[in-house]
Amino acid sequence: MMLRSTLIAAALLALTSDVSLAQSERDSLAAPVLRANVTVSSDVVRIGDVVENAGTAAQIAIFRAPDLGSTGSLPTQQLLSVLRTHEVIGVQTHDIREVMVTRSSRTLVSKEIELQIARVLERRNGLGDAANISVTFERDLRELQLDAAHTGDMRATTVRFDPRNGRFDITFEIPNDVTYTPTKLRFIGTAVETVEAAVLTRSVERNDIIKSSDVVIERRPKTEVGNDVASRDRSLGMQARKQMRAGQALKMTDLAKPDMVARDQGVTLIYETPGLYLTGRGKALDSGTEGDVVNVVNLQSKRTVQGVVTGPGQVSIMVPTARLTTAALSTSPSPAASAPESRKAE
């Protein structure tokens, strides 16, 4: 009885071993299958990249990989011909006509590089915040493609900057996770600090009033506009002190409050002292805004007087005498010589 049990157990064990061996043989003999799309990280394409179940031939390099970040195609017939030379046969193609191969990479766009350079130069040699530093490269730079193994941050190892002309020469290193040898990137160009400025969209004449459609906001070099740059809000409604061309950045010294009195304009003369308020008519000999001192002809006495612009078409005459009477207005050669209207202040 015991012998019989032992024989049965041995038979079952042999059967199990045969099944496992057969499965192993089937796995090892699985047909190689062509892949339609593959991504490689090295500079060569290996058989195992394009063929599934390639077996011991998987590590054999057969083609040069595309450039970093680009995609190339391998015609199926050409690929099968190369595979046969390495004794990889019976590849199932599933009617794939070409295999698309993409080379993985790390892309550095110009904006990212500009930002890194601005951060390195921030507060250096008189420059301000990184957000206000504009970077221009000596050669046109759109983007750089690096091996995908370069995953580390950009670290500046050499920094040269000349504040006289804004030129920089900066070298960065980026670590490589595979070779542990960092890649060095050198950039040369100019960096300037910029500020937001109100820029004219059209040419303006002297005394023109700046309207909303006349200005846009642009970043301009600080050395161009200095510390007197005019913002959009401060420039709107202001009057041009001089003729200016389109594209010119506005400075506060270019602007003034709009004239409330224009040359040769008829104005109201106001004479005011404690307890007395008189008005008359005059003609402005000067233009001026609120607070300006202008010359005005009193139209009744024909005398030229000086006054302060206090409102649109209004000039206040300061009477030097402490006491002012109606009689004095008609006989005195003072600025208050004519006042066709008068009333006593309440």
Contact 161, 125 (CB under 8 A): yes
CB atoms closer than 10 angstroms to residue 59: 10
pLDDT over 70 for what percent of the chain? Answer: 83
CA angle 46, 52, 56 (to 5 degrees): 60
Which of the two residues, 183 and 346, has the higher pLDDT score? 183
Buried b (16+ CB within 10 A) or exposed e, 157-167: eeeebeeeebe
Strand-pairing partners, residue 170, are 159, 187
- Residue range(s) of every CATH 2.30.30.760 domain in the chain: 266-344
| Topology (CATH level 3) of domain 105-256 | Type Iii Antifreeze Protein Isoform Hplc 12 (3.90.1210)
Rg (CA), the chain: 44
- The answer, yes or no, to whether residue 339 has pLDDT greater than 60, is no
What CATH number labels 266-344? 2.30.30.760
- The answer, yes or no, to whether residue 11 has pLDDT greater than 80, is no
pLDDT tens, 74-88? 999 999 999 999 999
pLDDT band at 126 (very low <50, low <70, confident <90, very high): confident
pLDDT tens, 248-287? 999 999 998 888 888 899 999 998 888 888 889 999 999 8
- Residue range(s) of every CATH 3.90.1210.10 domain in the chain: 105-256
Strand-pairing partners, residue 92, are 33
Place of tokens 């900057």: 161
Query: 12 — phi, psi (to 5°)?
Result: -65, -40
Residue type, 2: M
Q: Give the containing element (helix H, strand E) for 330.
A: helix 326-331
- The answer, yes or no, to whether residue 330 has pLDDT greater than 60, is no
To the question of pTM greater than 0.85 for the whole model, the response is no
Q: What is the pLDDT of residue 326?
A: 46
Q: What is the pLDDT of residue 23?
A: 47
Rounded distance between C-alpha atoms, residue 109 and residue 107, angstroms: 6
Helix residue ranges per DSSP H, 29-74: 47-50
